[in-house]
Structure 1
Amino acid sequence: MGSSTPWSPSPIRLNIGGKKYSTTIDTLTQREPNSMLAAMFSGRHNVCQDSETGMVFVDRDGKQFRHILNWLRDGVLPMLTEVEYQELLREAEYYQLLGLIDYIKENSGMKDGEISKAEFTRKEIIKIIQSDKIRFRGVNLSGLDLSKLDLFLADLSYACLQKTIFSRANLHKAKLVDVEAEGSIFQDSILRECELFGANLSGAILDRANLQSANLQDACLVGCSFCEADLRSAHLQNANLTNANLKGANLEGANLKGAKLNGASLQSANLQRAYMRDVDLRDTHMDGAKLGGANLLGATR
C-alpha cells in the first residue's frame, strides 16, 4: 500500500531491518528537515506500508536506528565506542542526517574526509567470495584494494566504498544500489549489467570500464572519468554527469533522458542512437562526437 497524502498525527510504525519502532511525524521531520526520513514522511512521496500492519519497512540496521531516533528526539547521543560511531555514521549518511553526521565527527574524533576503517581485509573478502553467496550489503569496505577479484553477482548495495580499488575486477551483474563510492577506482573493470541505481560515484575513475547495459539511473557521477568506457545501452536517466570526462566513451544506444551533462567532456564520444531528450548540455564539449540518430529533443544547450 502506498501513501502520498499528509500523514495523520497518530504514531508512525516502522520496521527497520526487522526491529519495530513507533514514533511521530514531528520526530521524523523537524530536527533534520532536509533528511531522507523527512522527505519520506513529508506527504510528497509514495511510501510503501504493509497492508495488514500499516508498518513502513526500511531495509537498514535496526539496532542503530534507536540512536537515530534518540538524536531526532533530543539532539544528543550516549557515549559510543569507535566501532559503534562508525556503524552509526554509515546509517546517518544513508538517511542524509547532516546534523548527526557533524555530531558524530565532532564527538568521535573523526575528521572531514577521513575514511573509517573497513570491516574486512582483502584476505577475508577472498574467503567470502569462495562461499556460495556473496553479500556485503551495507558494510564498510572503504579504502580496500579489491582489484582483480571475481565479484560476479555480488550484492554490495548500500555499502560504503569510498576510495576502494576495483581495477580489473569482475562486477558483472553485481548490485551496487545506493552505494557511497566517492573517489573509488573501477578502471578496466567489468560492470556489465551492474545495478548502480542511485549510487554516489563522485570523482570515481571508470576509464575503459565495461558498463554495457548497466543501470546508473539517478546516480551522482559528478567529476567521474569514463574515458574510453563502454556504456552501450546503459541506463543513465536523470544521472548527474556534471563535469564528467566521457572522452572517447561509447554511448551508442544509451538512455540519457534528463541527465545533467553541463561542463562534461564528450569529445570523440560515440552517441549514435543515444536517447538524449531533455539532457542538460550547457558548456558540454562535444568536438568530434558522433550523434547520428541521437534523439536530442528538448536538450538544453
Structure 2
Amino acid sequence: MDSNACSSIVRLNICGKKFWTTVDTLTQREPQSMLAAMFSGRHAVCKDSDKGYVFVDRDGKHFRHILNWLRDGVARNLYELERLELLELLQEAEYYQLLGLVDKINEVLKVKDEQMNIDLTRTDIVKYVRPLMASRPILKLRGTNLSGLDLSKLDLSGVDFSFTCLKSVNFSHTVLHSAKFVEVDAENAIFQNAMLFECIFTMANLCGAMLAGANFKSADLSSCILRDADLRSAKLLKASLYKANLEGANMEEADLSEANLSQAKLKNANFQHARLYRAILLETCLEDANLEGANLFQAVRRPQDRTNWW
C-alpha cells in the first residue's frame, strides 16, 4: 500500500468500539469540529502501544452515524432511530462540535415530534438516565411534554428541562441538583422535599406548585411566577428571587436567609415565622403580607441598610 495512504488511515477506539477511517474523513466536512482539530496535525494524539488506536473516552454506540455523516454528509437511518436514541446521538454530535449533524438531528426530531406526537414516559426517562449516571453528561429534555408524569424519587441532577411542559409533574423527593428549568410551565407541579440547590428557574411558571420542604439553596428563581405556591419550610438560603411574583404564596417557616427578594411581588404572601436574616428586600411590594414572627434581623430594606453588614 502507498505510504501516504497508510499514513492517512486512523484507527479509533471509542470506549471499546473500534473504527477505521481516514484523516480526510475526520477533517474535511466539518473543519471546525473537535475531531478535525484532533487530527489536523497541530496536536499530538495518544495512541496505544499495540495497534496504534487513538482512544476517545466517549460512548461508541452511535459513532457509526457520526462517521457516515463525515464521509458523505448523509445521516443515514436517523428516521429509524427512537427519539431517545436521537437525543443520545445529539449529545455526541454536540460534544464533537459537529454543527451540521446537530442541525440535521434537530430537524429529524422536529419531524418525528410533529408526526408522532408521542410524549416521554417515566420508563423512557429512567431507561435513558441510568446509563449516563457515571459519566454525567448533560441530558437535554428541552421543549418536551412531560405533563402529569411521576418522576418522584429519581436522581435527575443536571438535566436540562428548559422550555418543557411540566404541568402537574411529581418531582417529590427527587434529586435535581443543578438542573435547568428556564421558562418551564410547571403550574401545579409537585417538588415537595426535592433537592433543587443551584437550579436555574428563571422566568418559570410555578403558579400553585407544591414546593414545601424543597431545598433551593443558591437557586436562581429570578422573574419566576410563584403565585399561590406552597413553600412552607422550604430552604431558600442565598437563592435569587429577584422580580419573582410570590403573591399569595405560603412561605411559613421558610428559610430565606441572605436571599435576594429585590423588586419581588409579595402581596398577601404568608411569611409567618420565616427566616429572612440578611435577606435583600429592596423595592419589594409587601402589601398585606403576613410577617408575624418572621426573623428580619439585618434584612436590607433600604439602600443604606447594606452598610450594616456588607
Range class of TM-score, shorter chain = 0.5 to 0.7
CA distance in 1 between counterparts of 2:163 and 2:239 reads 21
In 1, Cα distance between equivalents of 2:93 and 2:215 = 27
- What are the residue-to-residue correspondences of 1:1-301 with 2, within 5 Å? 63=58, 86-87=90-91, 123-128=119-124, 138-301=138-301
Distance 1:215 1:115 in 2: 37
Distance 2:94 2:298 in 1: 39
SS in 1 for 2:177: coil
CA distance in 2, matches of 1:300, 1:89: 47
Q: Deviation string for 1:167-209 (max 9, x for gaps)?
A: 1111111111101220011111111001111001101111111
- Which TM-score applies when normalising by structure 2? 0.59
Question: Which structure's CA Rg is the greater one?
Answer: 2
Quick one: structure 1 residues 255 and 84, their matched pair in 2 at CA, closer, same or farther if it must change by over 3 Å? same
Across the aligned residues of Structure 1 and Structure 2, the Cα RMSD in angstroms comes to 3.8
Deviation at 1:161, TM superposition (A): 0.8
- Is the CA contact 2:121–2:149 (under 8 Å) kept in the aligned structure 1? no
| Letter matched to residue 211 of structure 1 | L
Paired positions, count:
214
Shift of 1:134: 7.0
1:149 to 1:85, Cα distance in 2 relative to 1, 3 A: closer
Amino acid at match of 1:145: N
Whole-angstrom CA distance in 2 between matches of 1:231 and 1:115: 40
> Per-residue CA shift, 1:59-93, capped at 9, x if unaligned?
xxx639xxxxxxxxxxxxx999997995279879x
CA distance in 2, matches of 1:239, 1:280: 11
Q: Residues 185 and 89 of structure 1: is their aligned pair in 2 closer, same or farther, counting only changes over 3 Å?
A: farther
Distance 1:289 1:135 in 2: 47
| C-alpha distance after superposition, 1:99-157 (max 9, x if no partner) | xxxxx69x55989xx999699985553433687x9788631111111011111112211
Q: Return the letter of the residue paired with 2:254.
A: A
Question: Does the Cα contact within 8 Å between 2:251 and 2:270 map onto a contact in 1?
Answer: yes
**Percent of counterpart pairs with the same letter?**
30
- 1:244 deviation in Å? 0.4
Separation in 2, partners of 1:158, 1:110: 21
Partner SS state of residue 63, structure 1: coil
SS in 1 for 2:121: helix
Tell which deviates more after alignment, 224-233 or 82-91: 82-91
What corresponds to 1:67 in structure 2? none
Structure 1 counterpart SS, 2:123: helix
Structure 1 runs of 4+ with >3 Å offset: 78-86, 88-92, 107-111, 114-124, 126-131, 133-138
Report the secondary structure of 1:87's partner residue: helix
Question: Is the alpha carbon distance of 1:201 and 1:268 closer, same or farther for their aligned partners in structure 2, counting shifts above 3 Å?
Answer: same
Give the gaps of 5 or more residues in structure 2: 1-14, 16-56, 60-69, 76-85, 302-310
In structure 1, how many angstroms separate the alpha carbons of the residues matched to 2:181 and 2:233? Answer: 23
Residue 27 of structure 2 corresponds to none
CA contact (8 A) 1:122 1:146 kept: no
**Is the contact between residue 187 and residue 206 of structure 1 (CA under 8 Å) also seen in structure 2?**
yes
TM-score by length of 1: 0.61
Contact 1:136/1:154 (<8 A) preserved? no
Question: Which runs of 5 or more residues in structure 1 are unaligned?
Answer: 1-17, 19-61, 65-77, 93-103
Aligned residue identity for 1:125:
T
